[in-house]
Amino acid sequence: MLSFSKIIFTALVFVVVWQGFKLFNRSKQVAADEQPKQTKDQSKTSKKANPVAHELEKCPDCGVYHAEGNAHRCDD
């Protein structure tokens, strides 16, 4: 039979682990809340730097990079 002190100790351990888990999740959430803002800023700046996000293909004939799928005619 479990003694009273063992029950109290188990409950104490449970509470400590639970509170610690809550704190751990909160710190993870704070980090997750901060990260999207950074990625949003990064995507904004990357969009400004490179507005065309299409995959580029190099023309084997003239070496000009053109958007994938777009019709390309060599100047020469």
Task: Return the residue nearest Zn ion (CB atom).
Answer: 59
Kindly state the helix (H) or strand (E) to which residue 35 belongs, with its residue range.
Answer: helix 4-49
Site string for Zn ion, 40-69 (x = CB under 5 A): -------------------x-xx-------
Out of 11, 12, 16, 74, name the contact with Zn ion by CB under 5 A.
74
Report the 10 Å Cβ neighbour count for 52. Answer: 8
Nearer to Zn ion, 3 or 63 (CB): 63
Q: Name residues whose C-beta falls within 8 Å of residue 65's C-beta, 6 or more positions apart in sequence.
A: 56, 57, 58, 59
Contacts to Zn ion by CB under 5 A = 59, 61-62, 74
